[in-house]
Amino acid sequence: MADREKRHLEIRGKRKKQIMSVALRLFSSEGYGHVSIAELAIHAGISKGLMYNYFDSKESLLKAIVEEGIDKIIQSFDRNRDGILTAEEFAHFIRSTFRLMEENKVYWTQFFGLIIQPNIKEFLKNSEMTGLIASYFDILGVYFKNMGFEDPMLEVFHLSVTIEGFALMMLFYNDLADIPEALFKRFEERIIHTYT
Amino acid sequence: MADREKRHLEIRGKRKKQIMSVALRLFSSEGYGHVSIAELAIHAGISKGLMYNYFDSKESLLKAIVEEGIDKIIQSFDRNRDGILTAEEFAHFIRSTFRLMEENKVYWTQFFGLIIQPNIKEFLKNSEMTGLIASYFDILGVYFKNMGFEDPMLEVFHLSVTIEGFALMMLFYNDLADIPEALFKRFEERIIHTYT
Amino acid sequence: MADREKRHLEIRGKRKKQIMSVALRLFSSEGYGHVSIAELAIHAGISKGLMYNYFDSKESLLKAIVEEGIDKIIQSFDRNRDGILTAEEFAHFIRSTFRLMEENKVYWTQFFGLIIQPNIKEFLKNSEMTGLIASYFDILGVYFKNMGFEDPMLEVFHLSVTIEGFALMMLFYNDLADIPEALFKRFEERIIHTYT
Amino acid sequence: MADREKRHLEIRGKRKKQIMSVALRLFSSEGYGHVSIAELAIHAGISKGLMYNYFDSKESLLKAIVEEGIDKIIQSFDRNRDGILTAEEFAHFIRSTFRLMEENKVYWTQFFGLIIQPNIKEFLKNSEMTGLIASYFDILGVYFKNMGFEDPMLEVFHLSVTIEGFALMMLFYNDLADIPEALFKRFEERIIHTYT
DNA sequence: AATGAATGAGTCTTCATTCAT
DNA sequence: TATGAATGAAGACTCATTCAT
């Protein structure tokens, strides 16, 4: 009994992940509104009805995907929040952020491609991320002030804009030709160099 | 007769612009796929059928909007392409770019919100813009080299990423609370200062 | 302009009535839940989509039908409610009620067949009819008391039960073979005779 | 072995009854077409698949329920069919009928709520009940004739209509507030008094 | 030029039923 | 016996597009 139940849960878990993974890819590349359940089912190799065994609706599937991504981000960034950053810590923070993105380039690119879609942005605004971002902005503001920057908030703005722009660039050019791996490294060092 | 015809064309022109303007706003905020012709007609104060007097289809309307935006960009940037930039010319180039964006903040924000949507990106890739951007990249590369930057292509990348990131930030935060006007100016000077 | 608008409204009105009429017939004979929009469309000689030009949903169509019936009933019975009934008035009340049912036997049989369906009953309970029925019960109670009946409320109950049962009988046997016209008359006189 | 088999059959029998009981309740209150197998399974505390171990299909389950009800009715009324009714026998017949309904008010109300649904009526028409009812009509006709009623068939009609109307009334008002128990008794005596 | 009734293909969703375990 | 994952046909509903007026 416990055996059967365990297997069921395993199967459910796998299927759920599989559906979410396929959906993220399609939603990101085609746009949420342009992906039909039929298309999703074909790409996931399942029947049309099965999705509804795992998610209440198409929108609920979207929500699950977005929330999972937000959770991943929060888990990654929710450590060492004592609030004071040294130059070394700043460098480490930037490097580990890029490392995270690089390791799951496909996932994060797709995720980014998803959350910039109209109506989906709203999910973010109502999530914990808003607070998380604000607190990081504060920490960075203090750091830049301590480092002697004239206009710390402008630097915070510049840095975050740069990182978002980088993500957007990856999204745009990844379809055509991959961005050279080396660029990751050089770009990252360029940022660290500017701010330490 | 010629008079009547002229007035006729004038009216057509105005209607067309009005439809395109409303459509851009809706496509950008709701997402192309989520805007129905019925909704568009209501917001434009016309009947559903009338749209088809001006555009062959919904997609043709989209195309017209995107092409108009691309044309505007090309017209703005297609001057002084002798190819060699002085520091002063660079500063002027950055300033006039920001000025253009600032003056039509609403239009460009909407336009940006439109072209980052999946499937619509493709329009850009097949447009003249690709070549235009490439040529600007070349000019900037030469400029950065002349200015003694170690890795000119990285700087080009950084600059373009920054500007795209800025546009994205405007798109995201414009709904909630306007970005302070002053930031435009400070951000722009920050870029000029870095690269001159 | 006013002309066109008028014609539009005329067409809309006719179509709406036509759809409601076909829907009532099908809902009553097949059961609301078993009638598909496709089936309804075929029987009404229209396309599947057109129904949604006139009603928001299948349920909204149902609601319109039920409410129309309730309104008809209320209009028929909402006259002379001074509250005191003579034997003559009672006889007239019964006769005119039967006359109304007889004249639109098809409509009322279908309507009755609709409102006894599960879930649809609820519509009635929340309608004005509840109050109307209650007030008629009161009036009849007084009448039976004045006529010297031992247990007036029991008579009210008996009478209403009899009429409802008559409606149900019509619904059941109308499919197979029509109830003989004469029965209407004899049944009606039987009731009048019992209670005057 | 025979023991195990017996227990086996006992369990099967119980399960079957349980499923039928839950199904009758749901079919009656929600309408046959609106009850899904999933819903049924949840309310019966079994899995979706298990139902198919006991019944071939949803319709076959419905059929079993209706047939069981018809059987119960036939068993109750199939006695003393010598054909001639005295006044005393008539009174006893009415009383025992009401007693039967009263004792299993919930069951019969639900059953009645089921068989008046469109499409389900057909089951009755093709069942033995049609003949049974006809024969009772005959017996009652003779009885009323012997009792000196002017229009015996009208009385048969009136009586059956009254009883059906009573059942319908119970179905309608049972959800809201129970019909006072005393009414059963008084209503029954009222009928007996009229016809003896 | 302008309207909106009408169409029907396509979308999301439900659900009776099957089957491997 | 019992489970629930999986299927696919069918249902409610949407919407780009056409066309008579």
Find the CB nearest A33 among B34, B168, B171: B34
B161: nearest CB among A157, A165, A186: A165
Residue that the structure tokens 């004979």 belong to: C29
What is the H or E stretch that residue B37 is in?
Answer: helix B37-44
Residue A81, pLDDT > 70, answer: no
User: What is the pLDDT at residue A119?
Assistant: 87
**Which amino acid is it at B40?**
L
Positive or negative: CA dihedral B120, B126, B127, B129: positive
- Structure confidence at residue D6 (pLDDT): 75
Which residues, by CB, come closer than 7 Å to strand E? A 7, 35-38, 48-49, 52, 56-59; B 8, 11-12, 15, 46-50, 53; C 5, 8, 11-12, 15, 46-50, 53; D 34-38, 48-49, 52, 57-59
- The proportion of chain B whose per-residue pLDDT surpasses 70, expressed as a percent, equals 92
pLDDT at C128: 87
The answer to whether C166 contacts D161, with C-beta atoms less than 8 Å apart, is yes
**How would you label B87-104 residue by residue, b for 16+ Cβ within 10 Å and e otherwise?**
eeebbebbeeebeebeee
Q: What tens digit of pLDDT does each residue of B59-112 get? A: 999 999 999 999 999 888 766 556 788 899 999 989 998 898 888 989 999 999
**Count of beta carbons in the 10 Å neighbourhood of residue A46:** 17
C1' nearest to CA of A37: which nucleotide?
Answer: E12
**Rg, chain D, Cα only:** 20
Residue B149: closest CA among B90, B74, B81, B83 = B90
Q: What is the pLDDT of residue A146?
A: 94
pLDDT at D176 exceeding the cut of 80: no
pLDDT band at D76 (very low <50, low <70, confident <90, very high): confident
| DSSP state letter for B116 | T
* Whether B31 and A118 lie within 8 Å, measured CB to CB: yes
pLDDT at site C38? 96
Please, is C150 exposed, middle or buried when counting C-beta atoms within 10 Å of its C-beta (0-12, 13-18, 19+)?
A: exposed
Q: Of B100, C162, A134, whose CA–CA distance to D194 is shortest?
A: C162
Determine whether the interchain pair B187/A158 forms a contact, defined as Cβ–Cβ distance below 8 Å.
Answer: yes
Measured between alpha carbons, how far is D109 from D170 in angstroms, rounded to an integer? 7
**Is it the case that residue C1 has pLDDT exceeding 60?**
no
pLDDT, position C79: 61
What's the CA–C1' distance between C99 and E20, in Å?
A: 64
Of B30, B151, B176, the CB nearest to A186: B151
> Which is more confidently placed, B180 or A75?
A75
Separation in Å, CA C108 to CA B92, C21, C72, C171:
82, 12, 10, 9
Considering chain A, what is the average pLDDT of its residues? 89
B53 contact to strand F (CB, 7 A limit): no
Q: What are the pLDDT digits (tens) for C47-94?
A: 999 999 999 999 999 999 999 999 999 888 766 566 788 999 999 989
Between chains, do C31 and D33 touch, taking CB under 8 Å as contact?
yes
Closest nucleotide C1' to the C-alpha of C16: E5
Contact predicate C32/D117, CB 8 Å = no
d(CA B128, CA D150): 99
What per-residue string of b and e applies to B127-165 under the rule 16 or more CB within 10 Å gives b?
Answer: bebeebeeeeeebbbebbeeeebeebebbbbbbbbbbbb
User: What is the token pair recorded at B134?
Assistant: 């490439």
Rounded to an integer, the average pLDDT of B124-137 is 87
Model confidence at C181: pLDDT above 80: no
Cα separation, C109 vs C167, whole angstroms? 7
Coil, strand or helix at B31: coil
The pLDDT value recorded for residue B161 is: 94
The pTM is what? 0.90
CA-nearest residue to A180 within chain B is B154
Lowest mean pLDDT among B46-55, C41-50, C56-65, C92-101: C92-101
CA torsion sign, C134 to C140 to C142 to C148? negative
CA distance D168 to chain C (A): 7
Contact D140, D85 (CB under 8 A): yes
User: Is the minimum distance from the CB of D50 to strand F below 7 Å?
Assistant: yes
Radius of gyration, CA atoms only, chain A: 20
Residue B58 sits at the vertex; the CA angle it makes with B52 and B63, to the nearest 5 degrees, is 110
Q: Which of B64, B195, B191, B81 is nearest to B131 (CA)?
A: B81
Write out the two tokens for B22: 């409303």
What pLDDT is attached to residue B80? 56
pLDDT for residue B196: 87
Residues of A in contact with B28 (CB under 8 A): 118
Task: Tell me which residue in A31, A154, A157 faces B117 most closely, judged by beta carbons.
Answer: A31
A34 → closest Cβ in B119, B166, B190:
B119
Nearest residue to C189 via CA among A90, D158, D41: D158
Task: Single out the residue of B172, C53, D52 nearest to residue A123, CA to CA.
Answer: B172
Burial class (CB in 10 A: 0-12, 13-18, 19+), A111: buried
Nearest-CA residue of chain B relative to A33?
A: B33
Residue D74's pLDDT band (boundaries 50, 70, 90)?
confident
Q: At what angle do helices A152-176 and A129-146 cross, to 10 degrees?
A: 120
Counted residue by residue, chain A has a size of 196
Residue D29, burial from CB neighbour count under 10 angstroms (0-12, 13-18, 19+): middle
> If you average pLDDT over every residue of chain C, what do you get?
89
Integer Cα distance of A151 and C76 in angstroms: 80
**All chains having 3 or more CB pairs closer than 8 angstroms to chain B:** A
Chain A nearest CA to B29, separation (Å): 6
Tally A–B CB contacts below 8 A.
99
Report which of residues A38 and A79 the model is more confident about. Answer: A38
Tell me whether chains C and D touch (3+ CB pairs under 8 A).
Answer: yes
Distance between terminal CA atoms of chain C? 60
Higher-pLDDT residue of B1 and A162 is A162
* Strand F close to A8 by CB, under 7 A: yes
For residue C3, the distance in angstroms to the closest alpha carbon of chain D comes to 44
Helical (H) or strand (E) element with B72: helix B58-77
pLDDT of A149 higher than 80: yes
Q: Quick: pLDDT tens for B138-173.
A: 999 999 999 999 999 999 999 999 999 999 998 887
User: Residue closest to F19, CA→C1'?
Assistant: B49
Distance from the first to the final alpha carbon of chain D? 59
In chain C, domain spans: 1-55, 64-195
Contact C4, C26 (CB under 8 A): no
pLDDT in tens, A151-192: 999 999 999 999 999 999 988 876 655 667 788 889 999 999
> Chain B partners of A152 at a C-beta cutoff of 8 Å?
none
Write the DSSP string, C150-191.
SSHHHHHHHHHHHHHHHHHHHHHHHHHSPPPHHHHHHHHHHH
D15 touches strand F (CB under 7 A): yes
Cα(A17)–Cα(A23) distance, rounded to whole angstroms? Answer: 10
What number is the average pLDDT over the span D16-44?
94
Q: What DSSP string runs through D157-182?
A: HHHHHHHHHHHHHHHHHTTTSPPPHH
Give the model's confidence band at D82: pLDDT under 50 very low, under 70 low, under 90 confident, else very high.
low
Q: Alpha-carbon torsion A101, A106, A108, A109, what sign?
A: positive
Distances (CA, A) of C188 to A95, C162, C168, D129: 93, 11, 16, 28
Q: How many Å lie between the alpha carbon of D117 and the closest alpha carbon of chain C?
A: 6
d(Cα D142, Cα B30) in Å, to the nearest integer?
Answer: 77
Mean local confidence (pLDDT), D152-166: 94
Minimum-distance residue to F12 (CA–C1'): C37
Closest alpha carbon to A57 in A11, A91, A98, A23: A23
User: Please, what's the largest Cα pairwise distance for chain A?
Assistant: 67
- Supply the angle between the helices D105-115 and D58-77 in degrees, to the nearest 10: 120
Where residue B91 falls (left for φ over 0; alpha for ψ -120 to 50; beta otherwise) is: alpha
Among partner residues A28, A32, A187, which is closest to B157 by beta-carbon distance? Answer: A187
Q: How far is D7 from chain C (nearest CA, A)?
A: 38
| Model pLDDT, residue C121 | 83
Who's near D192: CB < 8 A, 6+ residues apart?
Answer: D90, D91, D94, D95
Residue range A4-24, pLDDT digits in tens: 677 788 888 999 999 999 999
**CATH code of the region C1-55:** 1.10.10.60
The whole-number average pLDDT for the span B23-51 is 94
Mutation target among C115, C162, C185 for the D interface, most CBs of D within 10 A: C162
Least confident of A4-8, A17-21, A122-126, B20-24: A4-8
The gap between C39 CA and F18 C1' (Å) is 24
Please, are residues A59 and A113 in contact by the beta-carbon 8 Å criterion? no
Q: How far apart are CA D13 and CA C106, in angstroms?
A: 45
